[in-house]
Chain A
Amino acid sequence: MKAAPITLTNVTCGYEGRPAVHHVSGEFAPGSLTAVIGPNGAGKSTLLRGIAGLQAPLSGEIAGAAGQVALLPQAAGLDRSFPISCLDAVLLGLWPSAGAFRAITRAERARAAEALAAVGLSGFAGRIVGTLSAGQFQRLLFARLLLQDAPVLLLDEPFTALDERTAADMLALIHRWHGEGRTIIAVLHDMDLVTRDFPRTLFLARDCLGWGPTDTVLTPENRLRARRMAEAWREGAADCRRAA
């Protein structure tokens, strides 16, 4: 699994002309495992959506991501009451290769069943997604990621609302993907988890406050700064005062 590096050059992303994250430059190396941290509204999800190609950056350039990215969105955006079976939901992960029309082969069905088993949902193939708990549903989305088999994985708050056991299982999957040489970028809030399991960290608070090995970014000063920002953060105030 060999991914190209993802290079950000002076990237500003945002909605309707309002920048949410300013002037970020740097590179996600192939096979790197990076945590993106920062207070709510710091532009973490926006940057992820930019890398995924869901919205073009307002300025600057994101290179190397096109066509090799799989995104795990925040679960809130899905219709969990939709009448679809777990197997079919996972099979939708084949869209990049199967598209709208190609028939699903028996081998692909078997792979989907394996993916369900790998996330601890064996026996759930025929279940309707509406009957899953929040944790099981997140496992399902991880199974879809498995089937997508993309060299670059973007995970937006993958552990939110998960119990400890589910979070541990999903973390093990992330380490497995890391071991396979995939590039992984995950938005996270749990600093202890970042320190323990993520070798690299990108600290965002509209501007990039630090990007590098986790122990150099998560210095005691930066941790304090992050906590103070989270307390004093105002989500509404966002105007670019620096010239692009």
Chain B
Amino acid sequence: MPPTAGAPPDVFLTDPFLEFGFLRRALVGGLALALSAPPLGLFLMLRRMSLTADVLAHGMLPGVALAYILAGLAVPALATGGLIAGLLVVLGAGALSRLSGGREDASLAALYLVALAAGVSLLSWRGSAVELTQVLFGSVLGVDDPALLLMAGTATATWLFLALAWRPLVLECFDPSFAAAVGARGGLWHLGFLAMVVLNLVAAFAALGTLMAVGVMMLPAIAARHWARQVGGMAYASVLIAMGAVLAGLILSYRADLPTGPAIVLTAGAFWALSLVVGPVDGLLGRLRKGHREG
């Protein structure tokens, strides 16, 4: 539906990007993230760690907030702060559960709740409400040159990592005791994998905000399960879904005047719902039809 009668329909899709440089930058950065984050989300899902990314993103917040107070809205500082805080939460939870014998998910939950509260407190203590919204939910205006470089660099590093780590990651997920028996060093690969997850979340928060960065990682991965049967096909499907969500989400954000983070995540959510219903693998419609035939 074009905004003005008589205008060709493609204008609705391309106009914002032709008109505004900041939107083009957000699009390029978002597409870079769409290439790298969903395959990581796929492995998180397959390891039954779908919520870990969420925990990580919340855990980053105090680092981001502290960096913001010290250096203002500068991407390199915010990214470094987020990276350090995120890694501290992951490694801290692992170490705590090993030392105290508790369950790792419990330690993670405790740490991220404290981290989230501390982050929001820090931000509202020093920053304005507008800035708090920006850090939490993202802003297209946040995608400056350093942020764009960070996103593109992260995507490149992630693909290199995945190319090297694919087989060990699959083996470690599928059969960890066999991985140990053949000396595949699954733990080491897993640690590298978590570092890539944190790096992607850090790169994503400039555009999407800390609370929404997870959306681009997990929703396309969860949706991809309905489009392919093998892990490789799922990875490609998740990337395509994420790219579609970034494009449509940015247009939605511009047209409906929504913050970019929620707009992109809502679009990804819509794609997930669609996949759940019409997807060829375990889609609800397919199941219903199969049920009718059997019944």
Residues of A within 8 A of B (CB): 52-54, 69-71, 73, 77-79, 82-85, 88-89, 92, 95-96, 100-101, 128
Contact = CB atoms under 8 A, between A and B. Distances in A.
B1 interface: no
B177 A77 contact: yes
A73 B177 contact: yes
Interface residues of B, number: 24
A15 to B, nearest CB: 13
Contacts of B167: 100-101
Which of B46, B174, B180 has the largest number of chain A CB atoms within 10 A? B174
B43 to A, nearest CB: 11
B294 interface: no
A15 B174 CA distance: 24
Contacts of B228: 83
Contact of B174 (A52, A89, A100): A89
Contacts of A77: 175-177
A52 B182 CA distance: 9
B265 to A, nearest CB: 25
Interface of B: 46, 164-165, 167-168, 170-171, 173-178, 180-182, 184, 189, 225, 228-231, 234
Contacts of A73: 175, 177-178, 181
7 contacts: A82-B173, A82-B174, A83-B234, A88-B230, A89-B174, A92-B170, A95-B184
A84 to B, nearest CB: 6
Contact of B231 (A69, A78, A83): A83
B165 A100 contact: yes
Contacts, number: 64
Contacts of B175: 73, 77-79, 92
B164 A85 contact: no
Contacts of A70: 181
Nearest to A130: B229
Nearest to B229: A128
Contact of A54 (B46, B177, B229): B177
Nearest to A129: B174
A73 to B, nearest CB: 5
Contacts of A52: 181
A126 to B, nearest CB: 9
B186 to A, nearest CB: 11
B282 to A, nearest CB: 11
A96 B181 CA distance: 10
Nearest to A95: B182
A84 B182 contact: no
A71 B170 contact: no
B190 to A, nearest CB: 13
B229 A71 contact: no
Contacts of A53: 181
Contact of A84 (B176, B177, B180, B231): B231
Contacts of B181: 52-54, 69-71, 73
A92 B176 contact: no
Contacts of B182: 95-96
A73 B230 CA distance: 24
A70 B229 CA distance: 29
A84 B230 contact: yes
Given A52-B181, A95-B184, A100-B184, A79 B174 contact: yes
A83 B46 contact: yes
B238 to A, nearest CB: 12
Contacts of A79: 46, 173-175
Contacts of B180: 54
Nearest to B230: A83
Nearest to A92: B171
A52 B183 CA distance: 11
B11 to A, nearest CB: 41
B174 A84 contact: yes
A53 B181 CA distance: 7
A101 B174 contact: no
B174 A85 contact: no
B178 A85 contact: no
Given A73-B177, A89-B174, A100-B167, 5 more contacts: A73-B175, A77-B177, A79-B173, A83-B228, A92-B170
B25 to A, nearest CB: 36
A13 to B, nearest CB: 15
Contacts of A84: 170, 174, 230-231
A140 B182 CA distance: 18
A244 B246 CA distance: 65
Contacts of A101: 164, 167
Contacts of A128: 229-230
B178 A82 contact: no
